C-alpha cells in the first residue's frame, strides 16, 4: 500500500508535542509499542529533527514532522527521515517544497477557500483544523458537497468514547494528540499508560474495520 492507502486503512496518526526531545522520543516509542504506525513529531519539540532521525530507524513507524511553519524546517525534517510534512495552516511555499522533495504534504485549513487552495497547490491530504471549532463532523459533511474528491484528516476533539463517529466519516485519517499522550502521563514518565492508551485507540479502529 502507498501512504494514503495505509493511512486510510489504519486511520490513526499521533501528534507528539512535549517539552523535551527525550520525552518526545519516549512518548512516540510508547505509541509505537501500542500499535500506532503514523507518528508526527511537532517542530515545537526542541531538536525535533533528532527525534525524527532516531524514530525513522524503527521499521514499525512511519514518521513525519508537524507544526512545520518555515520552508527551512521542511529540509531539516526530510533530511532527518520524515516521510510527510504536517502544518496547522496552508503555506503554498511549504506545500510546493514538500512535493518537490517527493514527500507527502498535509497542510491545515478551515475554510472552503483555504481547503481548495491547498488542494490545488498539490496537498495530498487537507488537515481540517481546528476540527471541532469549525463544526466537526457536520462541517465535514457539508464541505464534501462541493469538494468530495479531496482527502481530509480530522484534527481535534477525538476521544475513545467518540472515535466511532470519526471512523464512520471515512476520512483519510484521524490525528490524535493528548487523548493518547496525556500531559500528566508525560510529566510522570508513565510510558506504559501511554502504550495502553494507544492500544485502546488501535483496538477501536480494528473493531470498527472488523479486524478484531
Looking at residue 212, its pLDDT comes to 55
In the predicted model, what is the mean pLDDT of residues 187-192? Answer: 98
Number of DSSP helices (H) and strands (E) in the chain, helices first: 10, 9
Q: What share of the chain is helix, strand, coil (3-state, %, to 5)?
A: 45, 15, 40
Percent of residues, the chain, with pLDDT higher than 70: 99
pTM of the model: 0.96
- Distance CA(175)–CA(183), nearest Å, equals 17
pLDDT score for 159: 97
Residue 111 scores a pLDDT above 80: yes
Q: Write out pLDDT tens, residues 29-38.
A: 999 999 999 9
Residue % of the chain over a pLDDT of 90: 98
Secondary structure (3-state) at 123: coil
Measured CA to CA, the distance from residue 12 to residue 53 in angstroms comes to 21
Those residues with Cβ within 8 angstroms of residue 163's Cβ, 6 or more apart along the chain or in another chain: 174, 201, 204, 205
Amino acid at each position: 500500500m502507498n501512504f494514503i492507502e495505509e493511512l486510510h486503512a489504519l486511520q490513526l496518526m499521533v501528534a507528539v508535542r512535549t517539552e523535551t526531545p527525550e520525552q518526545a522520543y519516549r512518548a512516540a516509542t510508547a505509541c509505537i509499542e501500542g500499535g500506532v504506525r503514523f507518528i508526527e513529531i511537532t517542530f515545537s519539540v526542541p531538536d525535533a529533527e533528532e527525534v525524527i532521525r532516531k524514530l525513522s530507524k524503527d521499521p514499525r513507524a512511519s514518521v513525519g514532522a508537524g507544526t512545520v511553519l518555515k520552508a527551512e524546517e521542511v529540509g531539516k525534517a526530510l533530511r532527518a527521515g520524515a516521510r510527510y510534512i504536517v502544518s496547522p495552516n496552508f503555506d503554498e511555499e511549504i506545500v510546493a517544497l514538500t512535493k518537490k522533495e517527493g514527500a507527502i504534504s498535509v497542510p491545515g485549513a478551515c475554510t472552503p477557500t483555504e481547503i481548495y487552495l491547498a488542494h490545488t497547490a498539490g496537498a495530498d491530504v487537507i488537515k481540517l483544523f481546528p476540527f471541532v471549532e469549525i463544526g466537526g463532523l457536520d462541517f465535514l459533511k457539508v464541505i464534501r458537497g462541493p469538494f468530495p474528491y479531496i482527502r481530509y484528516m480530522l484534527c481535534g476533539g477525538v476521544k475513545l468514547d467518540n472515535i466511532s463517529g470519526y471512523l464512520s466519516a471515512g476520512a483519510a485519517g484521524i490525528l490524535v494528540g493528548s487523548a493518547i499522550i496525556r500531559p500528566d502521563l508525560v510529566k510522570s514518565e508513565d510510558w506504559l499508560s501511554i502504550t495502553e492508551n494507544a492500544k485502546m485507540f488501535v483496538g477501536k479502529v480494528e473493531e470498527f474495520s472488523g479486524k478484531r
